[in-house]
Amino acid sequence: MLGILIQIALSWLLIRIVEHESLSVLGYQPIRKRILQLLVGFSLAAIVCGIAQLIESNLTGVSWQVNKAFDFRLFFEGVWWNLKSVLFEEFIFRGALLYIAIKRLGTRAGLALSAASFGIYHWFSYGIIGSPVAMVLVFVVTGLIGLVWAYSFSATGSMALPVGLHFGWNYVLNSIFSKGPIGIQFLVPLEPENYSQLSGIPWILNFILPAVIFAFLSYKLASRMSKVHISPEKP
């Protein structure tokens, strides 16, 4: 929590010093509209991620069962952990820095810079430095997602939609299907030793296709919700 508060304070300071504006440029108002954007983004991401995980489970023969130890404590721990990690990344890649980049460099350059930074960041978060094929795949996939989420920020004039999209995907992956660093959450695999793992072309397609579909649907959603565009500064 302290880290998020520090990010908010730094965001306010950057926007105030560089653009002479307030933190409201990150789009937390009007509250009802932003909550709706967040919830719609969350729902879309949760549905797409859930379907993608079920398709992968079918391909690999994985069956799932509800974790008998799952309770309200695990539920709230999962929500809080995912929310903190999402906000941490969003304030870096779709917050004050993106707003300033768009204003100073133009929309296309700002979005491209944000997307490339997001892709490179995942080299480190996934621990794949030194594996060229994995680095290319991760850069393309996460960079594409980062590009669409950056567009969502630019198109709506708010962090709400990209936060919702990001949170929905991460929560389903990490807390519903227990595939994140927080360990076993809602669902657990049944007899995991009997399942086969995807490899080669099937693994690549399974890694890329859901991201492309999700990116396309997120783009269409952001376009429909587009009301406020962040305009670059005129020379």
Q: Which of 67, 15, 26 is nearest to 188 (CA)?
A: 67
pLDDT, tens digit (0-9, with 9 covering 90-100), for 48-61: 999 999 999 998 88
Helix (H, G, I), strand (E, B) or coil at 63: strand
- pLDDT on residue 200: 84
Contacts of 129 (CB under 8 A, 6+ apart): 123, 135
Helix (H, G, I), strand (E, B) or coil at 19: helix
- pLDDT on residue 191: 75
In this predicted structure, the answer to whether residue 3 has a pLDDT above a threshold of 90 is no
- pLDDT on residue 195: 67
pLDDT, tens digit (0-9, with 9 covering 90-100), for 195-215: 667 778 888 888 899 999 999
pLDDT, tens digit (0-9, with 9 covering 90-100), for 94-142: 999 999 999 999 999 999 999 999 999 999 999 999 999 999 999 999 9
- C-alpha 17: how far from chain center: 28
Rounded to an integer, what distance in angstroms lies between the CA atom of residue 142 and that of residue 222? Answer: 18
Neighbour count for residue 100 (Cβ, 10 Å) = 19
